[in-house]
Amino acid sequence: MRKISFALLAVTFLSVGGCATSPPEDPENLCAIYKENRDWYEAAVNTREKWGVPVHVPLAMMYQESSFKHNAAPPMEYFLGFIPIGRASDAYGYAQAKTMTWDDYVRETGNSWSSRSDFDDAMDFMGWFIYKTHKINGVSKWDARNQYLNYHEGWGGYKRGTHRQKPWLIKVADKVDKRSKRYAAQYHTCQENLDSSWLWRLFFG
């Protein structure tokens, strides 16, 4: 009985480990990202169909937040340089979603089995957030710069203009915007190929 339990435990660990995907080899190229990880493109298309969010905007924001690391988290802070006292925030995963905001997402969408370290769930979360930003603050779903500012400051913070007192954040948002536009241009060159591949997987799996 103990041997069976151990075997089941080993299979569980292997299954969990298998869910983790390494960051893309060429994170600056949308076509390369989605060709390397076809499931990611499927998640992006699903997000587009569900939330009306273009495939390049959440990808650009996600790269800034986590560099596509499934277990990304803010760096550990230390007292006296060597005593760990915790992290600056509880942000975690591909989308660097904070626990409170993630809980809001789960409550509103009913996606109770979601995980911040799962790309599909993280992409859906970002689609939800971008959709809500458009509804609450009127920011276009294609406006990566101001979408990112909302993502960083929260809807209330953006409305109050807290980002205007943070020149460093404005620079980061501009960086996200440039990457988003570059991703969009790249997407035009490979969308047909990605879509044909996606449809093939959809029907013939």
Q: 121: how many CB neighbours lie within 10 A of its CB?
A: 23
Two structure tokens written together for 11:
């299979």
Q: What is the pLDDT of residues 156-170, one digit of tens each?
A: 999 999 999 999 999
Residue 9 lies in a domain: no
Domain containing 51 — which CATH number?
1.10.530.50
> What is the DSSP code (8-state) at residue 143?
-
Range of the domain at 190: 30-196
Alpha helices in the chain (DSSP H): 2-19, 30-36, 38-51, 56-66, 99-109, 119-137, 144-160, 167-204
Residue 202 lies in a domain: no
Residue 45 lies in a domain: yes
Burial of 55 (0-12, 13-18, 19+ CB in 10 A): buried
Residue 54 lies in a domain: yes
Q: How many domains does the chain contain in total?
A: 1
Residue 18 lies in a domain: no
Residue 156 lies in a domain: yes
Q: Is the pTM of this model over 0.95?
A: no
Residue 164 lies in a domain: yes
Residue 205 lies in a domain: no
Q: What is the pLDDT of residues 182-204, one digit of tens each?
A: 999 999 999 999 998 755 555 54
